[in-house]
Structure 1
Amino acid sequence: MRIGDVVNFDLNKFKGGLSFGLNKFKGSLSLGSPLKVALANIISNMGHGRAEVQNADDNIYPGNVEPTLVFILQEEGIIVLNNEHGFSAENIRALCDVGNSTKKTHLGYIGKKGIGFKSVFRVTDTPEIHSGGFHIRFDITEGQIGFILPTVVPPCNVDLSKLLEEFALNNIVSMFSDLHPSLLLFLRRLQCIKFRNMLDDTLIVMKKEVVGNGIVKVYVGEEKMTWFVVSQKLQADVFRPDVRTTEISIAFTLWETENGDYIPHLDQQPVFAFLPLRTYGFKFILQGDFVLPSSREEVDGNSPWNQWLMSEFPGLFVGAERSFCDLPCFRGSPGKAVSAFMNFVPLQGDVHGFFSSLPRMIISKLRVSNCLILEGDENVWVPPCKVLRSWTEQDRALLPDSLLREHLGLGFLDKDIVLSDSLARALGVEDYGPKVLLQIISSLCCSKNAIKSMSLIWLSSWLNAIYVISSHSSGKTSLNSGAGLDLLVNLRKIPFIPLSDGKYSSVDEGTIWLHSDALSARAVDDYSQQAFPILSAKLRTVSPALLSAAAAAETSCFDTFSVENVTRMLYRIGVQRLSAHEIVKVHILPAISGDRDTWVEDLMTEYLSFVMFHLQSSCPSCCVERASIITELCSKVPILTNHGYKRPIEVPIHFSKDFGNTIDLNKLFSGMDVKWHEVDSIYLNHSVTKSVSGGMLEWRSFFPRLGHHRFCAYCSS
């Protein structure tokens, strides 16, 4: 054979031969259209080295040998050695035809198209075969008939003198550059590939070792590559009557650490049809008996068989997780195993081409499978919708497992499981945050007596937690964001706020007050309980025990806990800061503006007495708002007179003798059809009047500011 045109199959140790003359055999060789098919296929991009690997794996080997393929690169040429049984007459017939493969109807063969050998013409015009007693040569320099019409040659008559003249050496070396260790992964028979470069005196040996537990290692010299491989047999006769079963596999590439642990190797990996095709964006290897075009570059996207095979991979992927987590290196650390496995999950947009829909199919399968583990010692497997991630020990102390499970049906994700944000969203994993805290308090308030069964320390801790999470975060969980505002709206509807009377209520049910500090508490309580008992009963105030519990929790709980956080959150929800000034503005003024049917004498007396008493005080807020309050009172406040409740804007109202008026004008108008309106003495009898010196004088100073008349009101006729 000429240098550069030779692939020498030197397998003389296997003896045998044809039982008939080769010259007679020539007459039955196929030509014509199959030859054109061969010519088209030979132009493909499939590396010749891979083609020989495919052919070698389909060979038959003695039981006492390790199936091995050897490439030897010499200055004179390339020699390929394979310790198979040797060629048979049937094999020779197949080489002399296109599409007449001996492998088509037999299981366990990865070549089926009858063109694998034809790839040798990419590197030689005159390949020779010396195997099983056959010594033949194909020579395409004599015309196209040379593709399929061999001639007999003497045994091992090799002429290697002109290789470098016709085939550049660097092209020969690069021809074998695609012999990656993964080539051995899915081969059924071949266990070892050797590449001997006599030019630089190097030897590369790739050897496969099936370790067990799904682990397959391929050694390349002193280096090794590791994969976790799972496979599944499928009934295939529905799609291909000539094939009863087929097998699909997934291989996860792993790095083995010095201590024997495995970590994911997340580079893009090719899809295999026993040999690698091309990458599609997966971080793991897909292997299947895919229908391929002659180029073997990618799978046939129009093949129903391929579409069916693809539909079976999601189940295999999801099922692989448990076996992956059972690897010895993950014993005692199932969360780390799940975290490692989840790194391989493809996301929408990662994968392209024929397999672009597979990430969605895998995600859909994972969403309904028990693929994640709850925190705890029992290793409970649950679907993604049943876990919370991004939690802390403080969060778990606030929401014990039993409470979370009872009210939300959720649990905390194992702390060793780390999911990317995009994967967590795709799987439907909930983040611990304001939404969860809202759901738990809502559920407690909907369950009979559940909220009352929780301690005030727990409730104050809950308020602190939701404030810290919402206020210290940015983006969609911030209280100033749209979601944050929705959170506040929902919280205002939930009756979780403990009141002084022992009940629980919501802001939407009515104004709730909170003592802002000791001074405001004293300013109101000193008078509300004794001087204004009816008003005090109307005021719905936060139970002081809540802040006492918060103070206790502040000294014993968490670094981020503070009473200030609790009060700030209550204010954000809509609880009002309790002060005499705010009571006037928020409670009394709206109340006196209501219908007359709501005017209860004792209550209305307390309202006006409270306002009078407050406006005479040194309230800082009144310095700014006193005038506006007086203006509103003039138009709205009902004053009890000797003719019932009247507003100052409706009729002139005067002081009676009880208020120090020296003239009794009632006698003057006696018998006349004139209504003389005088302020009722009920205000003088109120306890607040008696509690201060000069109480009557305070009223005499207060009423004229509302439009009262000290003596007579002049009315033009």
Structure 2
Amino acid sequence: SIIPCLRIELNHSYILLSNNEQGLRARDVLAICSLAVSTKTIEQEHIGEKGVGFKSVFAASNRPILISHAWKFCFHVSGLDAMSYITPLWITDQDIPDCISNQISTYAQHTHLYLPLKLQAHTPEANMFLDQVIKAADPCILLHMRHLKKLEIIDKRQNKVTIIEKEIIGPTKLEEQSNVTFEDFTFLNLAGSIIQLNTLTGYNTFRVYTCYIDVPNSIEQRRTSKTRLIIAFPCEINYDLTSTVYAGLPVCDLGFNFLFNADFQLVTNRENVRENVLFNTLIRNHLSALFVYLLLNDIDLRKDMNRYCPSLNTHQGKYSSWWLVMIDNINELITKYLSVLFEIQTGKTIRYFNKDLALLVSNEQLYNCADIHVIDTDHTFLTSEQLKSFQIQTVSIIDILNCFPHRQETLENKYRQQFELWTQRQDEQWCTNFSSSK
């Protein structure tokens, strides 16, 4: 069977994109040659609106050429004539440039988009633009694609070939759910998959979770009332994400150790989302809740919680307060559900281990005498800094004093009585040791 593949070839003067899927239909060509027309349907749930997606190629080229089966045409934008952006010029095989003719003839059944660059070849500006194209062809975009399974990037400037192929290994530990509500957020068709991105030199594994959310008409009028969210977590500790936020293609890097994809509305240069848009805020807040829900319900993900939890201390200088709200939301929910994450009995106060007071009281004594559950950062998946960000305090002298019997207690607490006797024996032992050392 054919593996759906996108091939991106770059040289100093052009970009050639080739795809081996269905190809262009008559209605697709009509949409490309029109404004405010799209062949995408609600059922297909594609990202894109009003048929303007193809028009973005004119940012790179004044003479894009499209070849798909019997369709062979180009556009030629030579000045201020707006109609040239939607007026096709039919071409023949003789009009196909020599630099791509071999690829076109070899893979005649594929769809090809040839973009001779506006920028002059071999200039710093052209090289910078081509480098940005390669960066946008981030392997992680395959995690978000429903059909595309393979990405080939051929950089003829450096004779470098990169091939990434997606393989679905199986489901995650998260149970698939058609409708789940967590806090005030509802997620539809929530499911998780373990996906490998294979290259010639190895592979990287991700836990990828997909769901849909409803978009109220009061927030945005859309062709469909639902939008898709994706969160992906790299399994390998040493995997270095180059981007965190995706809207199909990479948008920006927040420094998180997980990535997410959604139909964000972006600023003009695509380097951030539009922060004053209610739709983007809706997505951000749902992603915060989804992150914590996944930690609570996928045991494998929870084991790596320390790697994935974002910290204000780490990220506060990287982006605006709009994104920092996402970290705040995550931390607030984790604080609320920390007892569930650590399977701590209800009613217990949570503290983290204080090595300076370890000789004065044991974790077991604090648990039995003062209703305090101590988290030892040496034997758990969170650091002391992360626990501090969840408003968890270290064990204190006051906690130790609460282990002693209380005068106002009406019922005798045997654990506190035992603790008092233990401290008396410890005092005697310490005094003896101190005297003998003189």
Q: Same fold (TM over 0.5)?
A: yes
The 3 A distance-change label for structure 1 pair 234 and 74 is closer
Larger helix share, 1 or 2: 1
How far is 1:245 from its partner? 2.4
1:134 corresponds to: 71
Change (3 A) 1:292 1:173: closer
Matched with 2:146 is 188
Contact 2:243–2:251 (CA<8 Å) still a contact in 1?
no
Question: What SS is found at the alignment partner of 1:388?
Answer: strand
In structure 2, what is the Cα distance between the partners aligned to 1:298 and 1:395? 47
Instruction: Find out whether 1:167 has 2:121 as its counterpart.
Output: yes
What is the match of residue 307 of structure 2? 343
Q: Deviations over 1:652-705 (max 9, x none)?
A: xxxxxxxxxxxxxxxxxxxxxxxxxxxxxxxxxxxxxxxxxxxxxxxxxxxxxx
| One of 317, 326, 347 as aligned partner of 1:358 | 326
Structure 1 stretch displaced more, 269-278 or 112-121: 112-121
> Match for 2:194 among 190, 215, 223?
215
- The aligned counterpart of 1:236 is 215
Choose from 309, 319, 325 the match for 2:283.
309
**Count of aligned positions:** 385
Tell me the equivalent position of 1:245: 226
Tell me if the contact between 2:4 and 2:21 (Cα under 8 Å) persists in the aligned partners: yes
Give distance in 2, aligned partners of 1:196 and 1:138.
25
2:246–2:260 contact (8 Å) kept in structure 1: yes
SS of match in other structure, 1:124: coil
2:109 equivalent in structure 1: none
* Partner residue, 1:176: 133
1:319 aligns with 2:293: yes
> Which one-letter code corresponds to 1:94 in the other structure?
A
Amino acid at match of 1:154: T
2: CA distance, partners of 1:314 / 1:385: 26
Structure 1 pair 87–294 and aligned structure 2 pair: CA distance change class (3 A):
farther
Question: What does the per-residue CA deviation read over 1:87-144, in whole Å, with 9 as the maximum and x for residues that have no partner?
Answer: 1222122212333233374543123253322232233322111114211111112652
Q: CA deviation at 1:298?
A: 2.0
Are residues 294 and 106 of structure 1, via their aligned partners in 2, closer, same or farther at CA, if it must alter by over 3 Å?
farther
Aligned to 2:372: 410
Task: Determine if contact 1:372/1:413 at 8 Å carries over to the other structure.
Answer: no
Measure the CA separation in 2 of the matches of 1:233 and 1:292.
20
Corresponding letter in the other structure for 1:311: N
What corresponds to 1:124 in structure 2?
A: 61
Is residue 438 from structure 1 mapped to residue 408 from structure 2 by the alignment? no
- State how far apart, in whole Å, the 2-side matches of 1:384 and 1:140 are: 70
Counterpart pick for 2:40 among 103, 121, 128: 103
1:150 counterpart residue number: 88
Question: Moved runs in structure 1, 4+ residues, more than 6 A?
Answer: 161-165
8 Å CA contact 1:444–1:450 kept in 2: the answer is no
Q: Give the superposition deviation at 1:278.
A: 1.0
CA distance in 2, matches of 1:85, 1:200: 31
Whole-angstrom distance in 2 between the partners of 1:66 and 1:84:
9
Q: Percent identity?
A: 19
The alignment partner of 1:216 has SS state of: strand
Indicate if the aligned counterparts of 1:407 and 1:444 stay in contact, CA closer than 8 A.
no
| 1:232–1:316 contact (8 Å) kept in structure 2 | no
Q: CA RMSD in A?
A: 3.7
* Paired residue secondary structure (1:326): helix
Partner amino acid, structure 2, of 1:146:
S
* Contact 2:195–2:206 (8 Å) recurs in 1: yes
* Deviation for aligned residue 1:319: 1.5
Q: CA, structure 1 residues 102+292, in 2 after alignment: closer, same or farther (shift >3 Å)? A: farther
Q: Distance in 2 between matches of 1:158 and 1:311?
A: 49
Q: How much does 1:366 deviate?
A: 0.9
CA distance in 2, matches of 1:383, 1:297: 44
- Residue in 1 aligned with 2:176? none
1:200/1:345 CA distance change after superposition, 3 Å: closer
Structure 2 residue matching 1:167: 3-state secondary structure: coil
Distance 1:562 1:177, change over 3 A: farther
Residue identity matched to 1:225: N
Conserved 8 A contact 1:138-1:146: yes
Question: TM-score scaled by structure 2?
Answer: 0.75
1-structure distance, mates of 2:99, 2:44: 42
For residues 579-612 of structure 1, the C-alpha deviation after alignment (integer angstroms, 9 at most, x for no partner) is xxxxxxxxxxxxxxxxxxxxxxxxxxxxxxxxxx
Structure number with the higher strand fraction is 2
Distance 2:348 2:52 in 1: 51
Gaps of 5+ in 1: 1-63, 256-262, 328-336, 375-379, 465-549, 555-560, 567-717
Kindly report which structure 2 residues correspond to 1:507-656, keeping only aligned pairs within 5 A, or say none. 550-551=427-428, 554=429, 561-563=430-432
Following the alignment from structure 2 to structure 1, what is the Cα–Cα distance between the partners of residues 283 and 12? Answer: 45
* Alpha-carbon distance in structure 2 between the residues aligned to 1:243 and 1:311: 20
Structure-1 separation of matches of 2:432 and 2:84 = 94
Change (3 A) 1:456 1:200: closer
Residue 386 (structure 1) aligns with:
349
CA deviation digits over 1:318-344, x for unaligned, max 9?
Answer: 1221455336xxxxxxxxx54x31332
User: Which protein is bigger by CA-based radius of gyration?
Assistant: 1
- Per the alignment, residue 458 of structure 1 pairs with 422
Gap change, CA 1:233 and 1:119, over 3 Å in 2 = closer
* CA distance in structure 2 between the aligned counterparts of 1:321 and 1:292, rounded to whole angstroms: 28
Greater Cα offset, 361-370 or 239-248: 239-248
CA–CA distance in structure 2, aligned partners of residues 204 and 358 of structure 1: 34
Cα distance in 2, alignment partners of residues 409 and 248 from structure 1: 40
Give the drift of 1:155: 4.0
1:264 and 1:344 map into 2 onto residues whose CA distance is 13
Compute the displacement of 1:84 (Å).
1.8
* Structure-1-length-normalised TM-score: 0.48
Separation (CA, whole Å) in 1 of partners of 2:234 and 2:143: 11
Q: Where does the alignment leave 5 or more consecutive residues of structure 2 unmatched? A: 101-115, 173-192
Equivalent position SS for 1:387: strand
